[in-house]
Amino acid sequence: MPIALYTHRQQLIKRYFLLAYFIAVVICSRYFEGALALVDLRTTFFNAAILLTYPVIYLLPAYLLTRFALWSARLLPSKRALHPLVATVAVISTAAINMALLADSKLYELYGFHINGFVINLVSTPGGIESLGGDMQTKISFALVAFAAFAFHALLLWAVVHLSSNSGLAANKRRLRWLLVIFIVVAISERIVFGVSDIQLHGPVLESAERLPIYGNVTFRSAAARLGFVVEQRKKGFRIGQKNLELNYPQAPLQVNAPDKPLNIIFLLAESLRWDMLTPEIMPATYQLAEHALKLENHYSGGNGTRQGLFSFFYGLYGSYWDAFLHSERGPVLIDVLQQQNYQINAYTSAAFTYPEFDRTLFSQLPADALHQFDGSVSVVDRDQRNTSAIIKSIRDRDPQRPFMMFMFYESTHARYFFPEALAIRKPFLGNLNYATMSRKSLRKDIDQLKNRYVNASHYVDTQIARVITALKQENLMDNTILIVSGDHGEEFMEKGHWGHNAGFSEEQVRTPMVIWLPGTEANVVTSITSHLDIVPTLMPLLGVSNPRADYSLGIDLLGDGSRRYTVVSDWAGVAYVGPEYKFNIPFRSEFSTRSVLRTKDDREVEDQLDFFSRFNDDLKAMIENAKKFSKKSQ
């Protein structure tokens, strides 16, 4: 290949990547929506610096790959201004990166987190995508957006190749050198600003650093301390190590003396069911049950997502243990005891047992024929209805000489919130939910009608719960059956700035209803803090387990004399303390968050943090120890 042609192609690639860079800058500006106003000079410079430098870092792999393709194609004959191999690599790599940035920025806009382990798990695990409830219009919209992105980048490259002149190459080369020098200076300055801000705990800069994905923190704390500078102590710097952990669960063999008359157990849980759905209007059957049962009015899930929420429910442990139990495929001791006592066990879901991976955790001990789920060819409404019918049939066809345990997970209350229109109690409701075209602005406009869908779905789930209650009464089983109704976690409708769940520990995302019908127990309303963590230690003594609850759980016995000062909720990033006055989250995965955050219990920012740390430091230390209690470092 003539040197002049190779040099010309190099210049074309540089021009194309310069345009791709400007596109990336525009996309990245979405991360700073509402945050680019002048806060202080330092933060303004930092925001501008990372906005200008990080698109280069994001596009660097695509540029290097394209340069390699250019170098490889030098021996391939082609009379075109740019070899097809080089053009293909350039378009696919840059379009893919900018598409990923666009998807991540939309994810951050709506939910407050970036593409991470949770999102990757959602996409890669069977049943994950289906759990979102997106319809065909959403799928088509996503496909069209992806096609448009690749077509636009192809058109951009075509314009560079066919509309660029050959003149001024030397001048362009000099300009690019100066741009490279400026980039290096700005990038170094940005790192210095972050390092100094980290030493001084300058909040606005530290918060801005979390806006962009995979921001590489550079800290100078140790060096600054050695040089005699005042380094602000990280009062918010609690950390929980979660690497290389093996299980130590339970901590002692269970001592069990099976009761002479074991009670049946039914768990009816609904996806995303938050506490304020339990009203006479929305959930009349469950509300009526609660009037004669144990009603926990200040109850918290163990997490802001299904995985951590149901894990805490069945294990009585913090959701941060999920990975260790999944890796070991260790089920809960609750199921162990039920199997030892020859319970008839059936678990039903209108989602999938593979997502989350409950077939490898919660129900890993159960045979495949005990796990019942419907495929995606059946509507969510029909799945909930058919599963309820299957539960009722199992109750009627049971072996009366053996106790039974049944679990049902209703999916209608998951977005897009499903219900028969004939049962709608709130109108108007949003007719369609398209994830591809969704934005914070459109959500704010439609949020009331979207919540109406959710209320209607909650009402529909209650009609199915009513069917189970009716069947228990018809079979004369209410006097020897424990019935628990709750949700895996809550659901937010922009009350605190987000929609859905997995986006934080707001009351709306982590509080659920909890109704426990327990034969022989008087009706009672509990207003103190309770948790999903408390279900297992409440049930185990009823099953004849005499061990101290600390041997197998981190919860309390709701039927005992004790009460909890605080509870703990978890997400993919870490755990959070939730007390009567404060919430404080402690991260253990840096790709989600680098800082701990303190808020009031009703989710307001806290300026003076001394009161919290002076009064609750012992509780925080205990929480951190408990997060490691049932695991040990592998050798």
Q: What are the DSSP calls for 132-165, one per residue?
A: G---HHHHHHHHHHHHHHHHHHHHHHHHHHHH--
Tell the CATH topology of 262-557: Alkaline Phosphatase, subunit A (3.40.720)
What is the tens place of the pLDDT at every residue in 245-299? 578 999 999 999 999 999 999 999 999 999 999 999 999 999 999 999 999 999 9
* Distance, CA of 613 to CA of 616 (rounded, Å): 5
Query: How much is the average pLDDT of 40-54?
Result: 86
Strand partners, 251: none
Determine whether 315 is exposed, middle or buried from the number of CB atoms within 10 Å of its CB (0-12, 13-18, 19+). buried
Query: How much is the average pLDDT of 154-179?
Result: 74
User: Which amino acid, 419?
Assistant: F
Residues of the chain with CATH 3.40.720.10: 262-557
pLDDT of 225 > 70? The answer is: no
Query: How much is the average pLDDT of 126-133?
Result: 54
What is the tens place of the pLDDT at every residue in 58-91? 999 999 999 998 888 776 666 666 788 889 999 9
* Distance, CA of 163 to CA of 520 (rounded, Å): 84
DSSP of 31-44: GGTTT-S-S-HHHH
Chain mean pLDDT for the chain: 86
Tokens of 23: 């596109």
Highest mean pLDDT among 157-161, 523-527, 607-611: 523-527
Q: What confidence score (pLDDT) does residue 201 get? A: 64
Q: What confidence score (pLDDT) does residue 196 get? A: 81
Nearest to 386 by CA among 464, 469, 273: 464
Q: Which of the four pLDDT bands, split at 50, 70 and 90, describes residue 630?
A: very high
Q: What confidence score (pLDDT) does residue 214 get? A: 77
Tokens of 429: 């409701």
Q: What Cα–Cα distance (Å) separates residue 377 from each residue in 373, 381, 442?
A: 12, 12, 30
* Distance, CA of 219 to CA of 191 (rounded, Å): 8
Q: Which of the four pLDDT bands, split at 50, 70 and 90, describes residue 163?
A: confident
Residue 544 vs residue 111, higher pLDDT: 544
Contacts of 60 (CB under 8 A, 6+ apart): none
- Residue 64: its H or E element: helix 41-72
Nearest to 558 by CA among 590, 517, 526: 526
Contact present, 341 and 258 (Cβ < 8 Å): yes
Contact present, 493 and 447 (Cβ < 8 Å): yes
- In the sheet where 582-587 sits, what is the strand order? 567-570, 574-578, 582-587, 597-600
Contact present, 486 and 513 (Cβ < 8 Å): yes
* Distance, CA of 409 to CA of 530 (rounded, Å): 21
Contact present, 455 and 418 (Cβ < 8 Å): no
* Distance, CA of 262 to CA of 280 (rounded, Å): 32
Query: How much is the average pLDDT of 132-143?
Result: 67
Highest mean pLDDT among 74-83, 343-352, 573-582: 343-352
The verdict on whether omega for the bond into residue 213 sits within 30 degrees of 0, i.e. cis, is no
Determine which of 42-56, 102-116, 142-156, 488-502 has the lowest per-residue pLDDT on average: 102-116
Q: What confidence score (pLDDT) does residue 477 get? A: 98
Q: What confidence score (pLDDT) does residue 11 get? A: 83
Strand partners, 246: 632
Question: Which contacts qualify for 562-568: CB closer than 8 Å, 24 or more apart?
Answer: 563/528, 563/529, 564/528, 564/529, 564/530, 564/531, 564/534, 565/529, 565/619, 566/529, 566/616, 566/619, 566/623, 567/300, 567/529, 567/530, 567/531, 567/533, 568/302, 568/318, 568/531, 568/533, 568/623, 568/626
Nearest to 187 by CA among 43, 57, 26, 29: 57
Q: What confidence score (pLDDT) does residue 156 get? A: 92
Contact present, 7 and 71 (Cβ < 8 Å): no
* Distance, CA of 457 to CA of 464 (rounded, Å): 11
Q: What confidence score (pLDDT) does residue 73 get? A: 79
Q: What confidence score (pLDDT) does residue 216 get? A: 65
pLDDT of 222 > 80? The answer is: no
Q: What number of helices (H) and strands (E) belong to the chain?
A: 17, 18
* Interaxial angle between packed helices 136-163 and 3-28, expressed in degrees from 0 to 180 and rounded to the nearest 10: 140
Integer distance in angstroms from the first to the last C-alpha of the chain?
57
Q: What confidence score (pLDDT) does residue 230 get? A: 45
What is the tens place of the pLDDT at every residue in 561-571? 778 999 999 98
The total number of residues shown for the chain amounts to 635
Q: What confidence score (pLDDT) does residue 237 get? A: 46
Residue whose entry in the numeric block shows the structure tokens 């959710």:
454
* Distance, CA of 73 to CA of 143 (rounded, Å): 31
Q: What confidence score (pLDDT) does residue 591 get? A: 43
Q: Which of the four pLDDT bands, split at 50, 70 and 90, describes residue 227?
A: very low
Q: Which of the four pLDDT bands, split at 50, 70 and 90, describes residue 524?
A: very high
Q: Which of the four pLDDT bands, split at 50, 70 and 90, describes residue 194?
A: confident
Contact present, 256 and 478 (Cβ < 8 Å): no
Tokens of 117: 């382990």
What is the tens place of the pLDDT at every residue in 443-455? 888 999 999 999 9
Highest mean pLDDT among 29-38, 304-313, 368-377, 587-596: 304-313
Determine which of 27-36, 152-161, 451-460, 478-487 has the lowest per-residue pLDDT on average: 27-36
pTM, two decimals, is 0.77
* Distance, CA of 240 to CA of 553 (rounded, Å): 19
pLDDT of 176 > 80? The answer is: no
Neighbours of 482 (CB within 10 A): 18
* Distance, CA of 206 to CA of 43 (rounded, Å): 9
Q: Which of the four pLDDT bands, split at 50, 70 and 90, describes residue 40?
A: confident
Highest mean pLDDT among 207-211, 222-226, 457-461, 618-622: 457-461
Strand partners, 569: 576
Tokens of 426: 């709130």
Residue 551 is classified by DSSP as G
What is the percentage of the chain residues whose pLDDT exceeds 70?
Answer: 83
